[in-house]
Amino acid sequence: MPKTAVSPIVIHGVPGSPYVRKALLACAEKGAPHRLQPIAFGGAKGPDHLANQPFGRIPWATHDDFVLYETDAIIRYVDEAFEGPALQPQEPRSRARMNQVMGIVDAYVMPSMTSGIGWNRIICPMMGLPVDEAAVAAAIEPSRVCLKALDAILGDQPFMAGAALSLADLMLLAHLDFLPQSPEGGALLAETPRLGAWLARMQARPAAQATETAKLMAAAA
Ligand SMILES: N[C@@H](CCC(=O)N[C@@H](CS)C(=O)NCC(=O)O)C(=O)O
């Protein structure tokens, strides 16, 4: 498809979800016209939503008459359909690193740091839901493994896949952003200072600031 997409892509999802955030981050870094169509917390199971995302997950995207779900597919589409800086390296080894980190985030970061620590320490108190302390405790060691592995991949490079920002950085930022806000996350992050410095650099980017969870929630309210 030629890069002539100019109409806005709409991301449908609940503000506060790292998957929604990563889609918005990709749009913002690409400079792609976009907007968030907020879905209420818990609203992803209704028939209207299931017609577009049959697994009851968020987000899903619409671009003119094109409907797409699965966030990795959405962010790759954003990179490939819109004009703007490339968010995927062409060089095979850098691209493999990007894909590796994206796989680590979905397979290991999401079930430990995001579901264990982030959900219980950040989202549950915000939503008035009970905190599962056992889940937080159980997430600490697997989260440590994730952070050490990611810190080793990052090494002394500026970005996860090397010299340039890629989808891997955006995906990881969406999941790690909350981490310093919890005592467990802050302590874990202090064990991997290169990753901590990467997180601070990523959080300072205009795209990160434009998609801060508090801002998204306030805009949706
Ligand atoms: N494979 C899906 C996963 C999306 C996902 O798990 N989203 C979470 C939001 S953080 C969700 O919808 N959770 C609701 C649920 O699991 O019921 C994707 O990449 O889009």
- The total domain count for the chain is 2
Number of C-beta neighbours around residue 194 at 10 A:
14
Whether 198 maps to a domain, the answer reads: yes
Whether 2 maps to a domain, the answer reads: no
Q: Are strands 66-69 and 9-13 parallel, antiparallel or unpaired?
A: unpaired
Q: Is the pLDDT of residue 103 over 90?
A: yes
| Same domain (yes/no): 56, 133 | no
Whether 4 maps to a domain, the answer reads: no
Output 143 or 219, whichever has higher pLDDT.
Answer: 143
| Same domain (yes/no): 46, 106 | no
Please name the residue ranges forming H helices in the chain: 18-30, 47-52, 71-81, 92-104, 124-127, 133-154, 167-176, 183-190, 193-203, 206-210, 213-220
| Same domain (yes/no): 113, 156 | yes
| Same domain (yes/no): 109, 68 | no
Q: Give the model's pLDDT for residue 41.
A: 84
Q: Give the model's pLDDT for residue 64.
A: 96
Whether 190 maps to a domain, the answer reads: yes
- What residue type is assigned to position 195 of the chain? L
The two structure tokens encoding residue 172: 């990881």
The two structure tokens encoding residue 69: 């779900």
The two structure tokens encoding residue 137: 């405790």
Compute, in angstroms, the gap from residue 156 CA to the centroid of ligand 1.
Answer: 32
Q: Give the model's pLDDT for residue 84.
A: 97
Please report which confidence band the pLDDT of residue 101 belongs to, taking 50, 70 and 90 as the band edges: very high
Whether 170 maps to a domain, the answer reads: yes
Which pTM value belongs to this model? 0.95
Q: Give the model's pLDDT for residue 44.
A: 82
Please report which confidence band the pLDDT of residue 5 belongs to, taking 50, 70 and 90 as the band edges: low
CA dist 142 and 147 (Å) reads: 9
| Same domain (yes/no): 101, 57 | no
| Same domain (yes/no): 14, 71 | yes
| Same domain (yes/no): 140, 201 | yes
| Span 181-221, pLDDT tens digits | 999 999 999 999 999 999 999 999 999 999 998 899 888 88
Q: Give the model's pLDDT for residue 47.
A: 85
Report the percentage of the chain scoring pLDDT > 70.
98
Q: Is the pLDDT of residue 1 over 70?
A: no
| Same domain (yes/no): 127, 181 | yes
**Which residue, judged by its Cα, is nearest atom 13 of ligand 1?**
57
| Span 24-60, pLDDT tens digits | 999 999 999 999 999 988 888 888 889 999 999 999 9
Indicate whether residue 151 lines ligand 1 (CB < 6 A): no
Please report which confidence band the pLDDT of residue 80 belongs to, taking 50, 70 and 90 as the band edges: very high
Q: Is the pLDDT of residue 2 over 70?
A: no
| Same domain (yes/no): 62, 117 | no
| Span 154-179, pLDDT tens digits | 999 999 999 999 999 999 999 999 99
Whether 114 maps to a domain, the answer reads: yes
| Same domain (yes/no): 98, 134 | yes
Whose CA is closest to 22, among 79, 67, 64, 66?
Answer: 79
Indicate whether residue 183 lines ligand 1 (CB < 6 A): no
Q: Give the model's pLDDT for residue 58.
A: 96
Indicate whether residue 77 lines ligand 1 (CB < 6 A): no
130: CATH = 1.20.1050.10
23: CATH = 3.40.30.10
Q: For residue 24, what are the domain limits?
A: 9-86+209-220
Q: Give the model's pLDDT for residue 3.
A: 66
Whether 1 maps to a domain, the answer reads: no
